[in-house]
Amino acid sequence: MSPRNNILAFAGLSTLYFCLLTIPWPGPWAGPAPYCMDAYRWVFRAAGNALFLRTGDGGSVKFSPMSRALHEPDTGLRITNRRTQAGGSGEIKAIYTGYRPTAFLAALILATPIPWRRRGLSLLCGLLLVSIFVAVRIWVRLAVMMSNNDPIRAYEFTGWFKGFLGALNAVLVRSPAVGYIVPALIWIVVTLRREDWARFGIRLGGDAVPSQPEPTAPPKRA
């Protein structure tokens, strides 16, 4: 296929895969998206309870189910400080925090015109990296919530790091765009090799098309 056709096929397939993973169908059977979302919510809460059961200085966070509605918070946060016995609560959207970045990465990898064995390996590596990214997003949000001057405080940040944490919260947690930018970068790292760029008409350094020698005029007869 020509680079133009590869780009069109990649754009169409990645959009199709992402829609299949994120948009419920109308009718009695809503398609694969609700089942994938419910499975992800369960993994999200289980992993959250495993990673953040003990966090900071005496802090503890318990993840519990809430609404299954697509645009509402679906996971409740029960925050406790074991030292002061103080408690608080919060909420988080597992679908927007973790599922959509994961689905976007999966759609990019599955639509890439490379052998299926490489797609599978890239998907495994990509899911690991995007899960680390999601865990960092959750930790930054919890660290901000648990570093205020109140009884549930489990983190005490001062100076430049407190400002840095606030900037991370604004970029990693509050910005919707980063949920697509980071998966796209992960896709590039785990999926594309030097020769794969040529499928999209992009030639990296050292792969330039050699210039054709200029035709020489035939020798003149005496």
The residues pairing with 79 across neighbouring beta strands, listed in sequence order, are 61, 88
For the segment 165-173, the average pLDDT, to the nearest whole number, is: 92
pTM of the model: 0.85
For the segment 14-38, the average pLDDT, to the nearest whole number, is: 90
Buried b (16+ CB within 10 A) or exposed e, 149-166: eeebbbbeeeeeeeeebe
Predicted pLDDT at 213: 52
For the segment 50-71, the average pLDDT, to the nearest whole number, is: 88
- Let me know if 10 is exposed, middle or buried by CB neighbors in 10 A (0-12, 13-18, 19+): middle
User: How far, in Å, CA of 55 to CA of 51, rounded?
Assistant: 8
State what percent of residues in the chain have pLDDT above 70. 92
Domain ranges of the chain: 3-50+94-200
* Lookup result for tokens 């309870």: 49
pLDDT per residue over 100-112, tens digit each? 999 999 999 999 9
| pLDDT tier for residue 217 given thresholds of 50, 70 and 90 | low
For the segment 161-171, the average pLDDT, to the nearest whole number, is: 91
Predicted pLDDT at 210: 46
Predicted pLDDT at 201: 82
For the segment 20-25, the average pLDDT, to the nearest whole number, is: 92
Return all residues near 59 (Cβ < 8 A) that are at least 6 apart.
Answer: 79, 80, 81, 82, 142, 146, 152, 154, 155
pLDDT per residue over 172-204, tens digit each? 999 999 999 999 999 999 999 988 888 888 877
Return all residues near 69 (Cβ < 8 A) that are at least 6 apart.
Answer: none
Predicted pLDDT at 206: 56
| pLDDT tier for residue 209 given thresholds of 50, 70 and 90 | very low
Q: Average pLDDT over the chain, rounded to whole?
A: 88
Count Cα atoms within 13 angstroms, Cβ side, for 134. Answer: 29
| pLDDT tier for residue 17 given thresholds of 50, 70 and 90 | very high
Stronger pLDDT, 215 or 210, i.e. the higher one: 215
Strand, helix or coil for residue 144: helix
- Let me know if 74 is exposed, middle or buried by CB neighbors in 10 A (0-12, 13-18, 19+): buried
Angle, helices 3-22/32-52, rounded to nearest 10 degrees: 70
Say if residues 7 and 200 touch (Cβ distance below 8 Å).
yes
